[in-house]
Structure 1
Amino acid sequence: MFQVLATDSIAKEGLTVLENDSNVSVIYGSVDEAPTTIDALIVRSATQVTAELLAQFPSLKIVARAGVGTDNIDIDAASKRGVLVINAPDGNTISTAEHTFAMMMSLLRRIPQANHSILEGKWNRSSFKGSELLGKVVGIIGLGRIGTELAKRLKAFQTDVIVFDPFLTEERAKSLHVQSVSLDALLTTSDIITVHTPLTKETKNLLSKENLAKTKKGVYFINCARGGIYDEEALYDCLKSGHAAGCALDVFIEEPATNNKLVHLPNVVATPHIAASTTEAQLNVAVGVAQEIHGFFNGKTVKNAINLPSVPGEELQKIMPFHELAKLSGQILSQVFTSGVKEIRLSFSGTITDHDTGLVTRGLLSGFLMQRVDRYVNDINAPLIAKEQGFTISETSRSETYGYENCLQVEVIGEHDSFSLQSTYIPGYGPRIVNMNGYVTDFMPEGAMIYIEHVDKPGVIGNVGKLLGDLDINIASMQVGRKKAGGEAIMLLTFDHELTKETEMKIRQLKDVVSAKSLAL
């Protein structure tokens, strides 16, 4: 008999699949009153699943977050105890898309302000002249699940939908009837801008003072994604000055946001992080985690795992170095190849072929996708997400080891270009990257790095070194490579600390430097 504790007012009707199983006992209540013998725990955001709480339930096998965010769960502590953590990333897609649309319409028609005016006993019709959505250019930053659903609804209102998403292929954009554009093009042409990306190093303060200044006068901004994507100080100034006509916010850097000066501006519509708060969404996430737990109890693959499941000890020891090698390779490839992907080709040679390489392939995919999509990615759900993103992955074995005991080769293919990476694992030394896009290298993938493509001319390497020296930045190591004298060449530098975006931009601006991309592992 499996015992499941459902806390935080989980929708009971969503747990039917568990309730109807004679081998499962569902308990409703708080963790303080629960028996220590529970096998599964279902929570929302109120319960803090700490290391101490996990220790109270030695039989616990799985923790399910009925929602997306898992900030209230100590993932590392759960992993150490062999407890699987899952969430329900798809259950609130529609509710968030609809809330974004509702915020958009409320903003354009000034509905909250008009309602407030009536409650004050006023009837000022002329004070609340709004704007129609018809014919507006709506810019969506991030075309994940929520952005996709929003785009579908916007087309029904006869808007022109443009999208900035570095990973969007032309084929997918065409199928969704949207236009893929650069960030600058979106900023300068959109009447309404809405963000639907995860909060990452790349997207933090993406809507900065500089980028907000590029937008059209009278633009509207919307954020129902994550606090921190907009620079709130810059956004306040943009709204206060009258450059922006209005803004709708459901999320903030710090919450509760009752004292945030943005919410007190007359041209701001704010809600208390409720985009996912619908009856249907709460039911959907409960159903989602219940089905996952039921499948887990019956030995089925869990789709939305946050951490890794346990693997038999002896095989895990043999395969994990290659798994880590593949994951690092995926992270590097994702950062150097920033276009849309159609196919990933993976080939193995040498000692690695003595093992089941399925886990290695999943590691590569999870490393590649983790910064590209608006959800948690791990070895379990990476293949499913890859399929959703519209690209395929192929695996082959080769006899040629290129002089190494084992070799992992990956080629990422896009619509117009490709990028290849070759790596190996050397016992006692660790993972090594031995070839980048045809250039021979030999470096350990770790820490802060920058990958520079340049013209093979005298002085280029010196100019990069001088710039970094003038900025008091110490180079820890350097790799250089070329295919022929005077042609294309590369530099790969490692540092003690991550470079700033400003430094990266200065390197790009140096003469004969073609591109420069920071790599963080």
Structure 2
Amino acid sequence: MPKVLVTDKLNTAGLDILKQVAEVDYKAGISAGDLKKIIKDYNALLVRSQTKVTKEIIDACSHSMKIIGRAGVGVDNIDLDAATQKGIIVVNSPEGNTTAASEHTVAMMMSLARLIPPADASMKKREWRRADFLGFELFNKILGIVGLGKIGARVGKIAQAMGMKIIAYDPFISQDFASQLRFGLVTLDEIWKRSDIITFHVPKTSETVNLLNKETIQKCKRGVRIVNCARGGIINELDLAESIKSGHIAGAAFDVFNEEPPKDSPLLELKDKVVLTPHLGANTEEAQLNVALDVAEQIRDVLSGGFARSAVNLPAMKAETIAEVKPFMTLAAILGTVAGQLAEGKMQEIQIEAKGELAKKNTDPLTVAILKSVLSGSLEGVNFVNAPIIAKSRGIKIIESKSFDMGDYVEELKITLRTDKSTKVLSGTLLAQDIPAIIQIDNYNINATPAEHMLLTHHQDKPGMIAQVSTILWEGNINISSMHVGRKGPREMSVMILNLDDPLSAELVKKVSQIQGVLEAKYLKLTTLE
């Protein structure tokens, strides 16, 4: 009989499911050293957030270890790369806490509106200060939702039932999807300008860190309230605190913080102006039961020869299918990443075309790799399994085509990414020794071998242009490793890709974009090459 090790507290209902197919050892609170010693004897491991499943732990697993289950959403405590390399499936429970997190958001919003925490504290001091706790009604107020995933959408529905008017921003959501919810889909600037309350439901990525800061706060309606039950770091806590003190922002409700527990957060000093809770979003009996049942069922199914429904790291394709196009997987990831970073606006359509000899192969894995790379720039938790589902749920149309005619290359992979603002076209191929190369950007032919750090410019082809860009990089101590240029003709428009040895700051990119004759300057980072 298989053996399952559970190392964190788990609802007994989850343990009962595991016992249907396996011998279960329950060792909550086991040390990392002891875990490393015994893990080789098990076929499955179930954890919550306390146990850290490091590469060292995974390396100590035997080849009979089939699955690691995380009873919750985040898998930051599990080394996914090490697990994948070891052939171990990692699963989580992506929907187990949706209700809990949504309800907590609404509770925080209502507590803020009616000053419930300070009123409660006052009563417990045997005070009766009705006049000091003048709240405001949520009815007919405008709720701005940043991020319209499962939790954001549910919060909107609850608020809508209370008579609130809902506007939302999410670059990955289609107008049709928002219309079905009866939400107004607007720009981020409109969220700042129109909302009476703003609630955040986005992952913490490079694009969402400090999303609400001193500059964007100034765009907000005076007297707005801010709610964050998503991720710490999305809102600049210092800038927010200063705006609350000045009266521009009326108050805030936070369940997540830059540092947890928050030791020096300026929000702790604001007293009655803020409502603070210690990351309780998923902390309900029902949520803990749901995630325990969900993950236990998946472990049971995998140990019984079935499939996991929420695998984080398991490709949706068979190994033999991937093998046929494996050399192109890195190229697909590069094209998807670059296209996603260059495109602006709400994603509407992705066309993927295989040309030449590549068209004769099963390119399904390449499509999934492209979708994963495009979506990962703005979303957490996107993987080979869920990328197509996420794209579909957000109304992104996927068009796949094949052309057996050969152009300048024997095999070619092409992406056309359409948004509500622009269209981006990229093509790539494999050079000798399967080295990926970008051979087309929009209407420009180019031959660029990508690097981890790149600067792309769209500029007028004229003397001194390259020198001006190089000077700015030199002044910023940025080393150029190679240069690739594509142009339409002498002194016409051109694109240039500079491969860099160092990351590029936003300040330097801005300086390049201000050079006369430069239409666009973008810093591109490829994590696929790290």
Q: 2:338 is matched with which residue?
A: 332
Q: Residue type of the partner of 1:8?
A: D
- Whether the 8 Å CA contact 1:103–1:222 is kept in 2: the answer is yes
Which structure 2 residues correspond to residues 140-219 of structure 1 after superposition, within 5 A? 140-219=145-224
- Whether the 8 Å CA contact 1:447–1:520 is kept in 2: the answer is yes
Which of these residues, 359, 378, 381, is aligned with residue 383 of structure 2? 378
**Aligned-partner SS, 1:342:** strand
Q: Residue type of the partner of 2:23?
A: S
- The CA deviation at 1:200 is 1.0
- 2:96 paired with 1:98: no
Q: Which moved more, 1:242-251 or 1:134-143?
A: 134-143
Q: Which moved more, 1:477-486 or 1:220-229?
A: 477-486
- Whether the 8 Å CA contact 2:447–2:484 is kept in 1: the answer is yes
Change (3 A) 1:472 1:39: closer
- Whether the 8 Å CA contact 2:359–2:404 is kept in 1: the answer is no
Residues in 2 aligned to 1:498 and 1:5: alpha-carbon distance in whole angstroms: 42
- The CA deviation at 1:390 is 1.9
Q: 2:65 is matched with which residue?
A: 60
- Whether the 8 Å CA contact 1:192–1:220 is kept in 2: the answer is yes
Q: Which moved more, 1:200-209 or 1:167-176?
A: 167-176
- The CA deviation at 1:488 is 5.3
TM-score of the superposed pair, with normalisation by structure 2? 0.89
- The CA deviation at 1:52 is 3.4
Residues in 2 aligned to 1:295 and 1:487: alpha-carbon distance in whole angstroms: 61
**Aligned-partner SS, 1:252:** coil
Q: Which moved more, 1:427-436 or 1:51-60?
A: 51-60
- The CA deviation at 1:372 is 2.7
Identity %: 40
Change (3 A) 1:97 1:514: farther
TM-score of the superposed pair, with normalisation by structure 1? 0.90
Q: 2:276 is matched with which residue?
A: 270
Q: 1:362 is matched with which residue?
A: 368
Change (3 A) 1:460 1:134: farther
- 2:135 paired with 1:130: yes
Equivalent pairs counted in the alignment come to 518
Which of these residues, 273, 279, 298, is aligned with residue 285 of structure 2? 279
Change (3 A) 1:325 1:299: farther
Residues in 2 aligned to 1:93 and 1:315: alpha-carbon distance in whole angstroms: 35
Change (3 A) 1:26 1:236: same
Residues in 2 aligned to 1:171 and 1:460: alpha-carbon distance in whole angstroms: 44
Q: Which moved more, 1:455-464 or 1:10-19?
A: 455-464
Residues in 1 aligned to 2:512 and 2:179: alpha-carbon distance in whole angstroms: 35
Residues in 2 aligned to 1:175 and 1:448: alpha-carbon distance in whole angstroms: 41
**Aligned-partner SS, 2:158:** helix
Q: Residue type of the partner of 2:349?
A: E
**Aligned-partner SS, 2:433:** coil
Change (3 A) 1:283 1:490: same
Q: 2:25 is matched with which residue?
A: 27
- 2:18 paired with 1:13: no
- The CA deviation at 1:466 is 5.0
Residues in 2 aligned to 1:489 and 1:238: alpha-carbon distance in whole angstroms: 44
Which of these residues, 424, 435, 454, is aligned with residue 419 of structure 1? 424
- 2:47 paired with 1:49: no
- The CA deviation at 1:509 is 4.0
Query: Could you list the runs of 5+ residues in structure 2 that have no partner in the other structure?
Result: none
- Whether the 8 Å CA contact 2:316–2:385 is kept in 1: the answer is no
Q: Which moved more, 1:61-70 or 1:134-143?
A: 134-143
Q: Residue type of the partner of 1:5?
A: L
Query: Could you list the runs of 5+ residues in structure 1 that have no partner in the other structure?
Result: none
- The CA deviation at 1:162 is 2.3
Deviations 1:440-488 (A, max 9, x none): 1111222122333345677665654554455554444333334467765
Residues in 1 aligned to 2:362 and 2:434: alpha-carbon distance in whole angstroms: 23
Change (3 A) 1:503 1:24: same
- Whether the 8 Å CA contact 2:167–2:184 is kept in 1: the answer is yes
Residues in 1 aligned to 2:303 and 2:446: alpha-carbon distance in whole angstroms: 47
Residues in 2 aligned to 1:42 and 1:382: alpha-carbon distance in whole angstroms: 25
Q: Which moved more, 1:319-328 or 1:27-36?
A: 27-36
Q: 2:112 is matched with which residue?
A: 107
Deviations 1:190-245 (A, max 9, x none): 22222111111111112222222332322211111111111222222222333221
Q: Which moved more, 1:398-407 or 1:430-439?
A: 398-407
- 2:434 paired with 1:436: no
**Aligned-partner SS, 2:302:** helix
Residues in 2 aligned to 1:465 and 1:56: alpha-carbon distance in whole angstroms: 49
Q: Residue type of the partner of 1:400?
A: D
- Whether the 8 Å CA contact 1:302–1:380 is kept in 2: the answer is no
